[in-house]
Amino acid sequence: MINAVIFFGLLLRIMVAIWNGFYGPSFQADGDALNFHNAAIEYAQNLTMQDFKIGWIYSNFLGILYHFTIESLFLGSLLSCFSWLASAYVLIAIMNLLPISKKDQFKAMLIYSLLPSSLAISSITLRESYQLFFINLAIYAVLKIYFNKSTCAWFILLFGIIGMGVLHYALIVFGVFIMLSALIMSAIRNNKFFSLVLLGIFLVIITIFGVQLFSSVAYAIDDGWIDAIIKYQKSLISIDARANYRNGIEIFGIFDFLSFTFKAFLQYLFEPMPWSISSYLDLVILFENTLRLWLIWRMCVSLVNVVSSKNRVPILFIFASYFFIELIWSIGVTNWGTAIRHHITALGVLVIGAFICHKNSKVSYLA
């Protein structure tokens, strides 16, 4: 049944890809998606990279494909569909490591496969389906390291972190978080003093390296993180859009910043509010936001159910990973049109957390 759901999800995505490639554009395929496709066509002419740009590596990848095949929007869209398919099977591998019953795995895959925004966005020439794959892969690697002490999983983790990092600036930060989590969980599992000392050294090195990397390839943070966020937010707010949920930003201290972060996080997760609805598309987004709220509630229930058990480490990791990545996105988004794209990248982590360790789950695979 699970494979049937995945196949149906893939079939629907291929249908969207066909529409987008030959009759479209489909939903969200006329903005960034078309820009990525056009950049890929340009790169395909001679495969000469002018300069390295985080995020646009995706277009270079598409350009190589176009160079050796045909410059087809349908082909680029189809590749996104199969990237989503790969992410789905990685998600199944993750769920098989965790106490999630087959019944709950089916429910999780039903949401993962048929969520309307996921169907639309993972079927066109956008990066989200690839980001989703690499994030799922990194989560899987961390759990394999924790459960099986797998050496090979460290290489898989590194591949996943590099993959997500070259696709978006924000995922560099998330990649550092994932690596730190892997080191902490490994030290906890080994329960050795030497491991804890080594962990402390790695934490310092990776944190310094991560900050320097983000500053060099993404946004300058010489004046501090808060100043960088304010400048970026103002640049986004200056762009007039119907779906904007923020009109201005004023931060004069740490308390203002904390207040802004909390409000931005809630708006990112749940806008548009019912009183902001102005189109049929907004109603679909409202439905997805309501579903997201229910899934987050289930995730919190999962955390409470295992808080005193030895299973809490991997489940805390899933919980923290979801909220960390969504928090990163939230401070760089000002409208729900962009938010629905970013939500796709965390969908796998969300459904795992929502269906793990519930009372109706009678399996327990954790050591």
Q: Per-residue pLDDT averaged across 185-212, rounded?
A: 63
Ranges of each domain in the chain:
1-126, 256-367
How remote is the C-alpha of 48 from its chain's centroid?
29
CA separation, residue 215 to residues 164, 200, 218, 224 (Å)? 17, 23, 6, 10
pLDDT of residue 20 exceeding 50, the answer is yes
pLDDT above 80: residue 107: yes
Q: Mean pLDDT highest for which of 158-167, 217-226, 302-311?
A: 158-167
What sign results for the dihedral spanned by CA atoms 167, 170, 172, 176? Answer: negative
| Tens-digit pLDDT profile for residues 326-361 | 998 988 888 888 899 999 999 999 999 999 865 544
Q: Which residue has the higher pLDDT, 98 or 28?
A: 98
DSSP 289-340: HHHHHHHHHHHHHHHHHTTTSTTHHHHHHHHHHHHHHHHHHHTT--BHHHHH
Residue 227: the pLDDT is: 63
118, two tokens: 């996921």
Mean pLDDT of 101-122: 95
- Look at residue 362 in the predicted model and tell me its pLDDT: 42
pTM score:
0.88
Apex 359 CA angle, 356 and 360, nearest 5: 85
Report the pLDDT value the prediction gives residue 292, as an integer from 0 to 100: 96
Calculate mean pLDDT across residues 96-113: 93
Residue 176 is predicted with a pLDDT of: 86
DSSP state of 124: S
Question: Does the structure show a pLDDT above 80 at 189?
Answer: no
Query: Rounded to a whole number, what is the largest CA-CA distance in the chain?
Result: 62
- Name the amino acid, one letter, at 98: L
| 182-195 average pLDDT score | 72
Task: Report pLDDT digits (tens) over 30-78.
Answer: 888 999 999 999 999 888 777 777 888 999 999 999 999 999 999 999 9
Residue 94 has pLDDT above 80, yes or no: yes
User: What is residue 13's predicted lDDT score, i.e. its pLDDT?
Assistant: 96
Helix (H, G, I), strand (E, B) or coil at 284: helix
**pLDDT, tens digit (0-9, with 9 covering 90-100), for 268-318:** 999 888 888 888 888 999 999 999 999 999 998 888 776 545 567 888 899
Alpha-carbon distance of 266 to 254, in angstroms, equals 19
The three-state secondary structure class of 218 is coil
Cβ atoms of residues 273 and 324 within 8 Å: no
